[in-house]
Structure 1
Amino acid sequence: MTKTELKRVCVKPYDKDRFEVDKDYIFSLPSLTARIPKGFKTDGASIPRIFWSVYPPYKSEYFSACVIHDFLCINAKSKADYMLANQILKEAMQELKINKFKIFVFYHSCNIFHKIKCLIKGIR
C-alpha cells in the first residue's frame, strides 16, 4: 500500500490565466506516485468561463488536483490514459477533502469531455 502525501502545489503566474509550477511537485496517492517538473505550465481547472463564478479555475481548494490532472492529460496517449487521469483527479480531490458534489461535477465533466474528445480525434 502506498503512503498518501498530497501537499499544495507551488506555482507562479506565467501568462494571462496560466501558471507555472515553481519547483518539482511530488505527490503520492494510493493509485499513483509521480513528479511534476518545475516549469510545467497549467491553466488550473479548464472550466468554461460562464461557470467561473461557481467554480473558479484557480481556487486553491482544488488547484493541486487540477495541476495533477493537467499533467496526466498532457501526457495521455490513449483513452485509458485519460480515464486514469480523471480517476486520479477524483482521488486527489478526495484527499484534499473537497465536498462530494464538487468531486462528482469535476469527475463526470472530465469523463464526458474526454470521451467526446477521444471519439472525435479517434483516440483509442
Structure 2
Amino acid sequence: MSDLDTSLNWLDALKWDESGLITTIAQDATSGRVVMCAWMNRDALRETVASGNAVYWSRSRGRLWRKGEESGHFQKVLSIRADCDGDVLLLSIEQVGGIACHTGRESCFFLELQGERWVPADPVLKNPKEIYSRGV
C-alpha cells in the first residue's frame, strides 16, 4: 500500500522537505533516459501543471527557474508521477533541442565512474558559450 494519502489535496498529499521542496527527476519520454534531477516547490509544481512546461526551484538563484528561459531548451511535460512515499516526482518530458544540461550535453548524468575517476562519457552537443549569452 502506498504511503501517499490520495484523499488529500494533490499538493498536500506530497511530502515536502523542511525547505518546502521535493526532489524532481526529468526523464525523456522517448528514450527513457534520465536527463536531470532538480527541486520543485509548490509554486513551481503549480506553474508546471498550468503551463505544461517544467518549472523548478533554483536553490542557487533563490527563485523559480523556468527550464529553458535562458537556453531555449524547454521541457514539455507529458506526465507527472509521484513515488509511493510522495517525496519524489518523476516528469516524463520532451526535451526541446535535445540538450538538458548547462554543459551542452543531452543529460546532466554524463559522468561515469571508471576505476576511481569520474570521466565524461557523453559528448558536448553545443558549446555552452553559444547557448548562454553571458556564459557559464
What is the TM-score of this pair, normalised by structure 2?
Answer: 0.31
Structure with more of its chain in helix, by fraction? 1
Larger radius of gyration, structure 1 or 2? 2
The structure richer in strand per residue is: 2
